[in-house]
Amino acid sequence: MKAGCRRTRRVCAVLALAFALTACGCGGERASPPIDKGSPASGPVQPVRTGGEQAGKTAQEGGDRVAAHLREVLAMWSRGDKDKATKEFLLINWQKPGEFSKESAFGLTEQEFIALPPNEQNKKSAELVELKGLCRSVLDAGRTAAARGDREQAKRHILAVQQCGRFLAQDAAMSAVVQLMGKALDQIASGELGKLDSAAPKKR
């Protein structure tokens, strides 16, 4: 009975998170294409160097692994360095996953996540909420770039979120809530790319 209640609470948490993620994008999202598990989404995002930011330098020296770099970027975000974290997010190389700690929501399998008591599940989910806020900021920066006519920067920001989403969605070792979040981010980014393409000047 307790296990059933726990699963019910978890399902409700997953649905709430999915709703919140969908709400972070604007209307008009289009369905994302099937995920190619053999290759990264749309090729690697070209990094935007931000002038000596130490976390990016450290991550690159360590092989630019997603696990270490994402942890550093989320730490920036959680301590209030929002702009720095948004820029640093673009430097993550999603083709080099590394190994996530079991202390992280990204390091847990489905069975490990389900086995956690509710308060621990909530603590792990808080990390996902932080990533959601960070991705929203990255998308906002992309929309700002698009508004000033810089389509290259706009696309770079949107693709960074899309690659993050596909990285999370295609890893079967991660929990269902993480994979669901990845799919939502991929869908939102795909919608933003569609709007960017629609606004592009038509060739005559």
Query: What is the pLDDT, as a whole number, of residue 53?
Result: 41
Please tell me the total number of residues recorded for the chain in this structure.
204
SS3 47: coil
Sequential DSSP letters for 104-123: SGGG--HHHHHHS-HHHHHH
Query: What is the pLDDT, as a whole number, of residue 131?
Result: 96
* Gap between the Cα atoms of 171 and 200, Å rounded: 33
* Gap between the Cα atoms of 191 and 117, Å rounded: 36
Query: What is the pLDDT, as a whole number, of residue 96?
Result: 82
* Gap between the Cα atoms of 113 and 203, Å rounded: 51
Query: What is the pLDDT, as a whole number, of residue 43?
Result: 45
Query: What is the pLDDT, as a whole number, of residue 17?
Result: 56
Query: How much is the pTM?
Result: 0.73
Domain limits of the chain?
Answer: 2-18+52-199
Stretches where the chain sits below pLDDT 70 are: 1-64, 202-204
* Gap between the Cα atoms of 53 and 182, Å rounded: 27
